[in-house]
Amino acid sequence: MPNTPSKLPQPEPPRKLDHLQLGSPKDKAVGTPAVLSSLQHVNRQAGVQRGAKALLRMNQKHGFDCPSCAWPDPDHERSRFEFCENGAKAIATETTRKRADAQFFKQHSVHELGEQSDFWLNDAGRLTEPFLLDEAQSHYRPISWEEAFKLIATELNAAATPDESVFYTSGRASNEAAFLYQLFVRQYGTNNLPDCSNMCHESSGAALNQTIGIGKGTVTLEDIETTDCLMILGQNPGTNHPRMLTSLEKMVQNGGKIISVNPLLETGLKAFSHPQKLSGILGKSTPLASQHLPVKLNGDLPFLKGMLKCVLEAEKAMPGTVIDQAFIRDYTQGFQALEEHIQSISWQAITEGSGLSESAIRQAAQTFIDAADCISCWAMGLTQHHNAVETIRELVNLHLITGKIGRPRSGLCPVRGHSNVQGDRTMGIWEKMPEDFLQKLDTTFGFTSPRDHGYDTVEAIEAMHAGKVRVFIGLGGNFLSASPDTYFTAEALRKCALTVHISTKLNRGHLVTGRRALILPCLGRSEKDIGATGPQFVTVENSMGIVHDSEGKLEPASPHLRSEVSIICGMAKATLPNSTVPWDSLSGDYNLIRNDIARVVPGFEDFNAKVRTAGGFYLPNAVKQRQFNTDSGKAEITLNPLRPLVLQEGQLLLQTFRSHDQFNTTIYGPNDRYRGVKNERRVIFMNKQDMDARGIAPEQPVDITSHFNGETRTAELFLAIAYDTPRGCAAAYYPEANVLVPLQSFAAVSKTPTSKSVIVTVKPHSR
């Protein structure tokens, strides 16, 4: 049956409602319900034995790395249960007994699959063998690995230039896979290597590289647990980095103070009861944040200017006690200009822009000043705004002028998302890797890498839409549903000749395809990977720059699965018959890949020996020694003008965030336990007064329209929920709300889509 245009699958989940059950937000995180919930998930999906085996090997030394977030494992003592509720869900979803196999794809056309929810698609189970959706066909059908590689090679080699291809990476790929992927892509001849980081911490990387000379965090887990003051801005650790709560509890028990800067008082920052300690099981909890600042969406830059103002004032009152004059003199430049700039900013601009009172900001500043040491942690609440890079640079300013950086217990901590997103960058997954990396790659492998910058995510979508791309390949991830502007991105993908996804589970990205499409199923983290020289392990880098091994322990979900490394080598060998790289040997023995990494990537000398020490090794981080590898050789204190978003009468700012039951576009279930929402994802959290002003009753169906440069985009049928969020600020879940995020609305410098500040109007649902 031909796949006629009217039968094309929808690029977004069905716009229909389930049965919302609303409770109150919870007042503490984790505890017994979390353990019960995680065991239920694992047992239901994987069965008791396979599930228990997986959980007991996860995050253990020489076990496998949790495929969920990038929070580090303790350096020394580890508990037998080094996992959290959401890590358990990630493992349940990977180790499930269900299969999306040949029979499944014979039964369901891609159009039918498009009618299903994201939960349903993921719940179909593990992909079992390569599948092809041929031109004008309605169903995927099995295809051999060799035929699949041949098809890819033919399409790649038919392109007029290598720049007609896009090679996306999601942050779960191992270091070994990522290194070979970028090597393949650069030998093929392009730097078109967009990745999920473009939509994630790119703003952090841009701000940190410019100001402190490294695009990574500067602290260790021990620093966090022993510091005096932790500022957590725009991050929801209870849901997205649950094992961080253990460290927060220790930090508070050590006498430290937590300041939460977030429009929402997230449950994970209120209080925590440890799920694996007797006190926690008995329901005892540790209060966490000592002060919560309900900043307006995108109000962090004015807030930070308020903090700087207080710091400078306090220094004036007691010279030589608040700012670190010696550090400023020896290690930084730009202080005087900052001082003048901050003086020129009025408290009115600060309080109006942030939505916070002067006294609340003064209180937070006093905590920061009184603390001998301070660390700031942040995530998507800072990075996904039009001025995200400026906001993060202002946070850096605060640490630089007080000298609270580059010493134990003080520094900066961008909390990474995907478990190996940081490692993938280290391995060269970036559309604009620096010259010294490319040179080393070239001399090691005897070829010349392209030097022109490639496409980032936004540019890749534009180029595809303009018909400039023949082939799209995704190493993991769900490019369609993770990207902004879902319908535009769908049109873009549909203009390719071939779209290829290397995946473990079915997702919507497999349904919205080029003229032809391939699904190449790979092993998951938890599974045994047997190469020519025996069992192989891979390596990953966590949020704190520790590189360690990860070795799967379970039988693969299907005998036809291949490792990511083997798939990349297969594609490369078919595409580049005259390559200087011994793809077959590398595929059979990952030690050889690590030897090559050691030759190219700084900090990986002796890689194979170092990574065999239990727990792994820290990558060098010059900032820890107060060395700033910027152009000037000094840390840069920067000027970051206020550029507030101007909203018209009746407009709101909408953030798109994660529920407790999802990992990015993978939906584990319909609930958001901590926020008290059950059985519905099509909800919009609003301030009660904003609802009243629009005549919207609690749980009334509404339509949301976003506004950008005179364009509108509408998402119909969401239920309005009254929630404790600042006036003018609303929230809805990603990926359902991605249809509203305009492709052209992105952060200056980093080009990260503004997923946390979408300008919208909300109206009662019509029809």
Q: Which residues bind ligand MGD (CB under 6 A)?
A: 67-69, 86, 170-172, 196, 199-200, 233-236, 239-241, 261-264, 266, 295, 297-298, 300, 379-381, 417-418, 475-479, 482, 502-505, 507, 522, 524-525, 564, 655-658, 662-666, 734, 737-738, 741, 755-756
Per partner kind, with CB cut-offs from 5 to 8 A, the member of Mo ion, ligand MGD, none near residue 607 is: none
* Closest distance of CB 416 from ligand MGD, Å: 7
The CA distance from 357 to 338, in Å, is 23
Partners of residue 287 on adjacent β-strands: 271
Least distance between ligand MGD and beta carbon 436 (Å): 27
Contact call for residues 361 and 350 (beta carbons, < 8 A): yes
Closest contact distance (angstroms) between CB of 456 and ligand MGD is 13
| C-beta closer to ligand MGD: residue 189 or 353 | 353
Nearer to ligand MGD, 329 or 727 (CB): 727
- Nearest in space to 78 (alpha carbons), one of 57, 99, 109: 57
For the CB of residue 554, give the shortest distance to ligand MGD in the complex, in Å.
13
Copy the structure tokens of residue 125. 């189970």
CB contact at 8 A, 394 and 214: no
Q: Which does 663 bind (CB under 5 to 8 A by kind): Mo ion, ligand MGD, none?
A: ligand MGD
Q: Which does 755 bind (CB under 5 to 8 A by kind): ligand MGD, Mo ion, none?
A: ligand MGD
Q: Residue 508 has what DSSP assignment?
A: G
Instruction: Work out how close the CB of 664 gets to Mo ion at its nearest, in angstroms, rounded to a whole number.
Output: 7
In angstroms, rounded to a whole number, what is the distance separating the alpha carbons of residues 273 and 386? 37
- Assigned token pair, 533: 């020289």
Residue 118 or 223 with smaller CB distance to ligand MGD = 118
Length of the chain: 767
Q: In whole angstroms, what is the distance from residue 224 CA to residue 658 CA?
A: 24
Query: The tokens of 406 are what?
Result: 């580059």
The three-class DSSP label of residue 735 is coil
Rule CB under 5 A: is residue 251 a binding residue for Mo ion? no
Partner that binds at residue 655, options ligand MGD, Mo ion, none, CB closer than 5 to 8 Å by kind: ligand MGD
The option from ligand MGD, Mo ion, none interacting with 756 (CB < 5 to 8 A, set by class) reads ligand MGD
The distance of closest approach from Cβ of residue 196 to Mo ion in the complex, given in angstroms and rounded to an integer, is 6
Shortest approach of Mo ion to residue 746 CB, angstroms?
A: 15
Residue 200 CB, shortest distance to Mo ion, in Å, is 3
Looking at residue 291, the DSSP 8-state letter turns out to be: E
Give the count of residues interacting with Mo ion (CB under 5 A): 2
Q: Find the shortest distance in angstroms from Cβ 234 to Mo ion.
A: 13
- C-alpha torsion 729→730→733→735, nearest 10: -70
- Closest distance between ligand MGD and the C-beta of residue 599, in Å? 26
Q: Which of 236, 272, 269, 245 is nearest to 29 (CA)?
A: 272
Phi, psi for residue 416 in degrees, rounded to 5: -70, 160
Nearest approach, Cβ of 335 to ligand MGD (angstroms)? 26
Q: Pick the closer one to ligand MGD by CB: 331 or 590.
A: 590
The two three-digit tokens of residue 27, written as one number:
């007042």
The answer to whether the beta carbons of residues 386 and 310 sit under 8 Å apart is: no
| Residue 427, Cβ density class (10 Å: 0-12 exposed, 13-18 middle, ≥19 buried) | buried
70 contacts Mo ion (rule: CB under 5 A): no
Residue 704 pairs in a beta bridge with 715, 762
- Identify what 429 binds: ligand MGD, Mo ion, none; CB under 5 to 8 Å per kind: none
Asked whether position 200 contacts Mo ion by CB under 5 A, the answer is yes
Residue closer to Mo ion, measured from CB, 72 or 556: 72
Strand ranges of the sheet holding 271-273, from the earlier edge strand across to the other edge:
29-30, 271-273, 286-287
Q: Helix, strand or coil for residue 135?
A: coil
Among ligand MGD, Mo ion, none, partner that 482 touches (CB below 5 to 8 angstroms by kind): ligand MGD
Q: How far is the CB of 502 from ligand MGD (least distance, A)?
A: 4
149 contact choice in Mo ion, ligand MGD, none (CB below 5 to 8 Å, kind-dependent): none
Q: Which amino acid is at 33?
A: P
Q: How far is the CB of 349 from ligand MGD (least distance, A)?
A: 17
Considering CB distances under 5 to 8 angstroms, the limit depending on partner class, which of Mo ion, ligand MGD, none binds residue 247?
none
If the CB atoms of residues 353 and 417 are measured against Mo ion, the closer one turns out to be 417
273 binds, among ligand MGD, Mo ion, none (CB under 5 to 8 A by kind): none
Task: Output the six-digit token pair for 517.
Answer: 């499409």
68 binds, among ligand MGD, Mo ion, none (CB under 5 to 8 A by kind): ligand MGD
For Mo ion, give the closer residue by CB, 201 or 470: 201
Widest distance between CA atoms in the chain: 80
564 binds, among Mo ion, ligand MGD, none (CB under 5 to 8 A by kind): ligand MGD
611's contact among Mo ion, ligand MGD, none, with CB below 5 to 8 A by partner kind, is: none
Least CB distance to ligand MGD at residue 479 (A): 6
Nearer to Mo ion, 200 or 540 (CB): 200
Stretches 192-200, 332-340, 599-607, 738-746: which one binds Mo ion (CB under 5 A)?
192-200
Q: CB-based contacts of 316: which residues, under 8 Å, 6+ apart?
A: none
Query: What mask of x and - would describe binding to Mo ion in positions 399 to 418, judged by CB under 5 A?
Result: ------------------x-
Stretch that binds Mo ion, among 7-15, 198-206, 321-329, 503-511 (CB under 5 A): 198-206
Per the listing, tokens 């995704």 go with: 474
Q: Give Cα separations from 490 to 135, 464, 537, 552 (angstroms).
A: 17, 10, 36, 35
* Residue 502 site contact among Mo ion, ligand MGD, none (CB < 5 to 8 Å, cut-off depends on kind): ligand MGD
**What residues form DSSP beta bridges with 568?**
none
Least Cβ distance, residue 753 to Mo ion (angstroms) = 12
- Distance CA(126)–CA(5), nearest Å, equals 29
Instruction: Give whichever of 69 and 251 is closer to Mo ion, judged by the CB atom.
Output: 69
- The residue number whose beta carbon is nearest to Mo ion equals 417
Structure tokens at 729: 């600020």
- The site map against Mo ion for 340-369 (x = CB under 5 A) is ------------------------------
Binder of residue 658, out of ligand MGD, Mo ion, none (CB less than 5 to 8 A by kind): ligand MGD
477 touches Mo ion (CB under 5 A) = no
Three-state helix/strand/coil letters over 379-417 = CHHHHCCCCHHHHHHHHHHHHHHCCCCCECCEEEEECCC
Look up tokens 């008791």; give the residue. Answer: 48
Contact 547, 611 (CB under 8 A): yes
Q: Report if residue 476 touches Mo ion, rule: CB under 5 A.
A: no
Q: How far is the CB of 66 from Mo ion (least distance, A)?
A: 15
In the bound state with ligand MGD, the residue whose beta carbon lies nearer, of 322 and 360, is 360
CA 735/CA 13 separation, integer angstroms: 9
Nearest to 506 by CA among 44, 85, 93, 150: 93
Which two structure tokens, joined as six digits, stand for 374? Answer: 């301070």
Q: Are strands 530-531 and 257-261 parallel, antiparallel or unpaired?
A: unpaired
Select from 329, 327, 308, 311 the least CA-distant residue to 319. Answer: 311
At how many degrees (to 10) do helices 388-401 and 300-317 cross?
20
Q: Which CB, 417 or 735, lies closer to Mo ion?
A: 417
- Using CB under 5 A, list all residues that contact Mo ion: 200, 417
